[in-house]
Structure 1
Amino acid sequence: MREIIFDTETTGFDPASGDRMVEIGCVELINRVPSGRTFHAYYNPQRDMPSAAEAVHGLSSLFLSDKPLFLHGVEELLDFLGDSPLVAHNARFDFGFLNHELRLCARPDICMTRMIDTVAIARTMHPGAKHSLDALCTRYGIDRSHRIKHGALLDAELLAQLYIELTGGRQIGLGLAQKEEKAQFGGEPVALAAVRPLRPARVFAASAEELERHAAFIATLDKPLWLEGSRAA
């Protein structure tokens, strides 16, 4: 089972008002285990960077000025995403910006049925608690000491660890869970356990040569105990 954990950084909160995506980071999971494959890109938004947004992620207009347009990197991104379920924290926000950029490239939207929202999962598991990425990392003991500012790939890597915790992925990796979780968090049904292939039964019968050697060995024994009862009979 392949899933993609992703996060975006943007110029603001609303693509409909002109805000753009400036960074995306993706982490590939196979059966809820990081495969080591990632995707990361910065994009030139062709607009200024508001100071409030720059304070969050540290990406300035100057830094982004020589980065490629989303249009020029869309194929590489879509190839990495494939048709896998996409996991994000407050996923409608990230899906909204990603689909907005795709529309600007005259590309079809990514279907919302592929969306898995870790905020929705956390609200179900921990009602009334704080559900920010920082708060949940603290709850599950995930080290985020190196997270000084938001960064799409860094946040995707943290989210991958959190998603594994939220879905019992460490137990799944050991093959201890064999159930399926319905798509109650905004996506298609997601298998919570890798189905292990059935192995053929092992053959433990002795070969003819082994039986012959065994008979020869038994013949060398002097008064074996297991024959005492049969002799008395």
Structure 2
Amino acid sequence: MGALNQLRRAINRVALADRNYAFLFEPEPGDEVVSLDCETTGFDPWVDEIVSIAAIRVTHERIHASSAFRALVRPESAIRPASIKVHRLREQDVADARPMQDVLPALLHFIGSRPLVGYWVDFDVRMLDKYLLSMLNIRLPNRRIDVSRLYYDRKYGRAPPGTQIDLRYTSILTDLGLQHHPQHDAFEDALGAAEMYLLLDDMRQRGVTLSREPMRTQDQFALA
């Protein structure tokens, strides 16, 4: 962890408004991460809201999909038609859901101090930070692992200038030979990111790089 991140973490720890959530600052629990995804009403973390969230624990070579955290969230404002076209969640679909303030405590206990994995995971964390600042006066302190960054390092880390770079979610799935899950569903996107993470982290540990020609791999891991 860099010095700046350590400083931010220390500031967050002091600013924490409820010591019942001090577990967020405990040491990372070994070889465990949580794959996270949110569906939102838009792309502005300070204006838009979360309408669906999923988190899946990943340990060693196992994705714990059957015990995933999944929740629909009732936003305070109306869901815009443009966002409905993306995630297909309508007003009636979330009418009986809980507000994010009620969902957040259970999510934080599920995540704990584990690193967060995701595709462009910084966006999901920024969306959560809005609610955390209101509830706990902190930003989420967990380390983040972006699968698009892992993929970039394995495929384009030593690419010559001018190389065409493709970091699209579907392109990464295809290149890794992974199943294409329905997009813009929080659980399916979190599951896809977890699968990417296991393959790419294994490649990183073995020092394996991806050819810049399309490739498929059938590395094995287990769903639980």
Is TM > 0.5 for Structure 1 vs Structure 2?
Answer: yes
State the match for 1:130 in structure 2.
166
Q: Distance in 2 between matches of 1:35 and 1:21?
A: 23
Q: Distance in 2 between matches of 1:82 and 1:52?
A: 34
Structure 2 residue 71 is the aligned partner of structure 1 residue 41: yes
Contact kept? 1:21, 1:101, Cα under 8 Å: no
Q: CA deviation at 1:107?
A: 4.6
1:100 equivalent among 126, 130, 136: 130
User: Aligned-residue CA RMSD in angstroms?
Assistant: 2.0
Alignment of 1:23-42 (within 5 A): 23-36=52-65, 37-42=67-72
Q: Distance in 1 between matches of 2:79 and 2:110?
A: 27
Larger Rg: 1
Contact kept? 1:99, 1:110, Cα under 8 Å: yes
Q: Structure 1's 32 and 108: CA in aligned 2 closer, same or farther, altered over 3 A?
A: farther
1:121 equivalent among 150, 164, 175: 150
Q: Distance in 2 between matches of 1:61 and 1:105?
A: 25
Unaligned runs of 5+ in 2: 1-30, 157-163, 208-224
Q: CA deviation at 1:32?
A: 3.8
Q: Distance in 1 between matches of 2:189 and 2:121?
A: 13
Alignment TM-score, normalising by the size of structure 1: 0.67
Q: CA deviation at 1:90?
A: 0.8
State the match for 2:140 in structure 1.
110
State the match for 1:141 in structure 2.
177
Q: Distance in 1 between matches of 2:93 and 2:134?
A: 22
Q: Distance in 1 between matches of 2:107 and 2:126?
A: 16
User: Identity over the aligned pairs, expressed in percent?
Assistant: 25
Work out which structure has the larger RCO, using CA pairs closer than 8 Å and 6 or more positions apart in sequence. 2
Q: Distance in 1 between matches of 2:54 and 2:102?
A: 17
Q: Distance in 1 between matches of 2:64 and 2:92?
A: 34
Structure 2 residue 89 is the aligned partner of structure 1 residue 59: yes
Q: Distance in 1 between matches of 2:202 and 2:101?
A: 37
Q: Distance in 1 between matches of 2:61 and 2:38?
A: 21
AA in 1 matched with 2:174:
T
State the match for 2:189 in structure 1.
155
Cα deviation per residue 1:40-86 (whole Å; 9 max; x = unaligned)? 11111111111111111101122112210111122111110010011
Aligned residue-pair number: 169
SS at match of 1:156: helix
State the match for 2:211 in structure 1.
none
Contact kept? 1:90, 1:117, Cα under 8 Å: yes
Cα deviation per residue 1:81-126 (whole Å; 9 max; x = unaligned)? 01001111112111110111222324521126x1111122222222
AA in 1 matched with 2:55:
C
Unaligned runs of 5+ in 1: 180-233
State the match for 2:43 in structure 1.
13
